[in-house]
Amino acid sequence: MYRYDEFDHTFVMERVAQFRDQVVRRLNGELTEEEFRPIRLMNGLYLQLHAYMLRVAIPYGVLSSRQLHKLADIATKYDRGYAHFTTRQNLQYNWPRLEDMPDILAELASVEMHALQTSGNCIRNVTADQYAGVAGDEVEDPRICGEILRQWSSLHPEFSFLPRKFKIAVTGSPRDRAAIKLHDIGIVMVKNPAGEVGCEFWVGGGQGRTPVIAKCINTFVPKRDMLSYSEAILRVYNMHGRRDNIYKARIKILVNEIGIEEFTRQTNEQWSHIRNGALDVPAEEIARITAYFAPPAYETLQDNPPSFVQNRDSDPAFAAWVRSNVAAHKIPGYAIVNISLKPIGGIPGDATDVQMHAIADLAERFSFDELRVTHEQNLTFADVRQSDLHSLWVLLAEKGLATPNIGLVSDIIACPGLDYCALANARSIPVAQRISERFADLKRQHDIGDLKIKISGCINACGHHHVGHIGILGVDKKGTEFYQITLGGSADENASIGEILGAAFSYDDVVDAVEKVVDTYVKIRTSRDENFLATVRRTGVAPFKEALYAVH
Amino acid sequence: MQYIKNSKISTDEWVHVGPEGELPAQGNLIVPLARWQASRDELLARKAPIGLQLASSEPPELIRDDLGRFDLIALEFPMFKDGRAYSYARLLREQYGFKGELRAVGNVLYDQFSFMHRCGFDAYEVQKDADAQRFATALSEFTVRYQPDPDGSPSAIELRHQPHRNVKSAGSRP
């Protein structure tokens, strides 16, 4: 993984000192809360319903064991012994005190981390495919591009006061696990006919009140031009993005209002002035960063070693976990392991300090000292020997971390909702917990198959409900929580926005409604090979509407 | 209100005038765009330096053809979070080649100084006296920048691969 050099170290230490001064000025009244707000937001510090919330940046979701141990220590020392992994591959603390914030940042800096630009109207933490470097179909490791963008976007003098937040995601595979089409900029690493690797740029995707699938703006930007091209897009957006209405301020609205052709023309006009200039990424820098993501020292192994096959065949619980949580690795004899942070009835994405320490130890022992956070709020060990899978599973299970539900009905994305968030209209977490309990029978979950449920507690869509195979949106009706259900959304390479089924359901009824939708799918699917999304795309929402609303 | 020029508290020799009313006979005037458009001939006839102020909704493209007429351009920050003028400043300096005074006006606060400086501003109308006193400190908070600056200060990338380029001391814009 990437390691800080002298420049990166100096930068974060200077950032800690700067924020320490800002907090002092806030506490002594020199800064009003209104003046402090954009400053703290740029540092991932929100004022929530009950307390401050601190969001720590995990660049493109990659963590070392040492970093995870530190995050666990901070949870113990400054929070209530747990933390929450987010859909931007970040980590949140829900109960820190403002006075402690500079010290927390100093602790983060000691393990090469920070909280810069995890909120506010600036370029946010860049996200990437959690299978970076190990997916068989990968053109190039997206973390290289991600790291170059991370550095360029850090305290950018021109783009720190944008009309609205700005999210960038990168995937190196045609199979999109990073939801790049739902981002302000999405980048796909591609090869051109000459065999050179470059960036395909997508622009203007997003969720929130107005969900939009991104449009392709350039099919091949050479890697050396990735920063000048990004800067051109951002400059057009910064100058012309709407600032009169917070709900129309994202780049997707600008692109829709002026049209992708005009947006492309303006971007190219800006690009023509800055291309081949100081923003060129020199080949030496690309090589320097690429070297950090060189493959680890893999052993020469065979796929399906006998011990693994024997355990899988003799232990159905282990086999179920392998089926849902283990993915193919590009190197023979290795596997990708997904650790579910969605135990039945648990809070999606939460982990205790004890669990974090345990995971860090296991990553050190089984996966080259490294792990990744996924945008679906789970964790990934990218490089596990297949012969170690059974031992790892046993140890994970001891800590309650072996729930075999990755990609299944209880692997739910949920925003913090009304339990924590000042913006929410409705609770999200308890709905996720109740759905998870309703489908607690893992055999039933495996029979249902791939199904992504995503829950947002308000229209800002932090829980990605628009792109859930089943999306659930909390709304407020005269002071009572109601839940609207959408079907057919998807965040992958065939991204789509879900369609609203009909009238919303009460808090008490929403779980029954979800179950009815799932049972309808099981009834009408052509076979077990036709997953939920494929069925909805084949039949449309009519049979589901009928099941939920028809008066018989 | 304090006036900073070239990183130092200085005496402001310019006077702001509004969109309407009599133009003062003497002095260097900063006029809003509407006044420039309405009283162009009168302003040029005064034979005194002209400053132009652009609101954040007025991109410098609007005055590109007249740029040579202005000794000063003031860009307005109506509130902390309206960041359009950062891009305008870079356009003026880097694409349009504007060499005169580039002044930040409006909601200009301590925590923006470094960003503004790096985008090409060299003058500031600062709201709080305490902020103005600490101007130099604001520019020295960071010695490492990840982006190339318009004044030619090297980015971290340039320093990594061209180590002979030393970091310029902060605030060294000529």
| β-sheet bridge partners, residue B3 | B125
Q: Residues of B with CB below 8 A from A243's CB?
A: 56, 82, 84
**Partner residues linked to A470 by β-bridges:** A453, A487
Contacts of A30 in chain B (CB under 8 A): 130
The CA-atom distances, in angstroms, between A353 and each of A69, A79, A379 are: 8, 10, 15
Q: Mean pLDDT in runs of 10 for chain A (552 residues)?
A: 95 94 91 87 82 92 98 97 93 91 93 93 96 96 98 97 97 96 98 97 95 98 98 98 95 98 98 95 97 97 98 97 98 98 95 97 98 96 98 97 97 92 92 97 96 96 96 95 97 96 97 98 97 98 96 70
Residue written as token pair 């392991």 = A337
| Backbone phi and psi for residue A371, each to the nearest 5 degrees, phi listed first | -145, 170
Whether B164 and chain A come into contact, CB under 8 Å, resolves to no
In contact, A464 and A207? CB cutoff 8 Å: yes
With an 8 Å Cβ cutoff, is A342 touching chain B?
A: no
CB A42 within 8 A of CB A116: yes
Write out the two tokens for A480: 């009572």
Put simply, the answer to whether A282 touches B118 (Cβ < 8 Å) is no
Question: How far away is chain A from the Cα of B75, in angstroms, using its nearest Cα?
Answer: 13
Rounded to the nearest 10 degrees, the angle between the axes of helix A33-41 and helix A6-27 is 160
Summarised one tens digit per residue, pLDDT across range A253-310 is 999 999 999 999 999 999 999 999 999 999 999 999 999 999 999 999 999 999 999 9
The closest alpha carbon to A126, from A186, A182, A73, A82, belongs to A186
pLDDT at B167 over 70: no
Q: Domain A306-398 is of which CATH architecture?
A: Alpha-Beta Complex (3.90)
Q: Is some CB atom of chain B closer than 8 A to the CB atom of A242?
A: no
Query: Which residue of A lies nearest to B95 if distances are taken between CA atoms?
Result: A273
Residue type, A522: V
Query: Under CATH, what is the fold of the domain A134-290?
Result: Sulfite Reductase Hemoprotein; domain 1 (3.30.413)
**A76 touching chain B per CB within 8 A:** no
- pLDDT the model gives residue B172: 36
Contacts of B141 in chain A (CB under 8 A): 14, 17-18
Establish if A161 touches chain B: CB-CB under 8 angstroms. Answer: yes
Nearest CA in chain B to A272: B95
State which H helix or E strand residue A420 sits in: none
Chain A / chain B CB contacts < 8 angstroms: 101
Calculate the dihedral angle through the C-alpha atoms of A174, A178, A180, A186, rounding to the nearest 10 degrees. Answer: -90
With CB atoms and an 8 Å threshold, state whether B160 touches A157: no
Q: Can you tell me the mean pLDDT for B35-51?
A: 95
pLDDT value for A42: 86
What residues have CB less than 8 Å from A66, skipping those under 6 apart? A111, A360, A369
* Token output for A319: 């086999």
A19 shares contact with chain B (CB less than 8 Å):
no
Asked if residue B171 has pLDDT above 50, the reply is no
Between chains, do A14 and B157 touch, taking CB under 8 Å as contact? no
- Compute the nearest-CA separation of A31 from chain B (Å): 10
Cβ contacts of A14 on chain B, cutoff 8 Å? 141-144
Contact at CB, B161 and A235, closer than 8 angstroms: no
Domain spans of chain B, in order of start: 2-142
Which chain B residue is nearest to residue A277, measuring alpha carbons?
B148
For residues B161 and A282, give the distance between their C-alpha atoms in angstroms, rounded to a whole number. Answer: 8
| A6-109 and A306-398: identical CATH topology | yes
Question: CA–CA separation, A471 vs A415, rounded Å?
Answer: 12
Chain A nearest CA to B26, separation (Å): 35
DSSP assigned state of A467:
G
Q: How many CB atoms lie within 10 A of CB A220?
A: 16
DSSP letter (8 states) at residue A509: T
Residue-wise pLDDT tens digits, B113-130: 999 999 999 999 999 999
How far apart CA A537 and CA A259 sit, in angstroms, is: 28
User: Which pLDDT score, from 0 to 100, does residue B165 have?
Assistant: 67
Instruction: Kindly determine whether residue B158 and residue A152, on different chains, have CB atoms separated by under 8 Å.
Output: no
CA A130 to chain centre: 9
Interchain proximity B155–A160, CB inside 8 Å: no
Helix A142-153 vs helix A226-240: angle between axes, to the nearest 10 degrees?
50
Give the number of C-alpha atoms closer than 13 A to the C-alpha of residue A73, restricted to the C-beta side. Answer: 14
Residue B144 at interface with chain A, using a CB cutoff of 8 Å: yes
Contact state of B88 with A239 under an 8 Å Cβ cutoff: yes
Q: In terms of CA atoms, which chain B residue is nearest residue A249?
A: B82
The token pair at A352 is 């205790």
Considering the segment(s) A6-109 as one domain, its CATH architecture is Alpha-Beta Complex (3.90)
Rg (CA), chain B: 17
Q: What pLDDT does B166 receive?
A: 56
Q: Among B81, B88, B114, B117, which would you mutate to test the A interface (most chain A Cβ atoms within 10 Å of its Cβ)?
A: B81
User: Any chain A CB within 8 A of the CB of B90?
Assistant: yes
pLDDT of B173: 36
User: What band does B170 get if pLDDT is binned at 50, 70 and 90?
Assistant: very low
Residue B133 has pLDDT above 80, yes or no: yes
Q: If you measure CA to CA, which chain A residue comes closest to B89?
A: A158
CATH topology of domain A413-549: Sulfite Reductase Hemoprotein; domain 1 (3.30.413)
pLDDT at B174 over 60: no
Confidence of residue B132 (pLDDT cuts 50, 70, 90): very high
In A264-412 the beta strands, taken as DSSP E runs, fall at: 326-328, 334-339, 350-352, 370-373, 379-385
- A3 to chain B: which residues are within 8 Å by CB? none
Interchain CB contact of B145 with A (< 8 Å): yes
Element (H, E) at A105: helix A101-109
Give CA–CA dist A538/A534, Å, rounded.
Answer: 6
Q: Check B141 against A30: CB less than 8 A apart.
A: no
Between CA A529 and CA A493 the distance in angstroms is: 20
Query: Are A500 and A486 in contact, with CB atoms under 8 Å apart?
Result: yes
Task: Name the class of domain B2-142.
Answer: alpha beta
Mark yes or no for CB contact A156/B147 under 8 Å.
yes
Query: Nearest 5°: CA angle at A530, between A529 and A536?
Result: 165
Supply the pLDDT for residue A552: 64
| Cβ <8 Å between B146 and A154 | yes
Residues of chain A positioned with their CB less than 8 A from the CB of B161: 282, 284-285
Mean pLDDT of the B92-118 span: 96
Tell the residue number behind the tokens 């960036």, with chain if given: A199
Which of B147, B149, B151 is best to mutate for the A interface (most A CBs within 10 A)?
B147
Asked if B109 is an interface residue toward chain A (Cβ–Cβ < 8 A), one would say: yes
What helix, strand, coil percent values describe chain B, rounded to 5?
A: 35, 20, 45
Residue entry with tokens 């795309």: A537
Residue B169, pLDDT > 60, answer no
- Indicate yes or no: CB of A161 within 8 angstroms of CB of B88: no
Residues of chain B with Cβ-Cβ distance to A288 below 8 Å are 160
Domain coordinates in residue numbering, chain A: 6-109, 134-290, 306-398, 413-549
Contact A278 B155 (CB under 8 A): yes
Q: Which residues make Cβ contacts (< 8 Å) with residue A45, sequence separation at least 6?
A: A52, A53, A54, A55, A98, A101, A115, A119
Enter the ipTM: 0.94
**pLDDT at res. A319:** 97
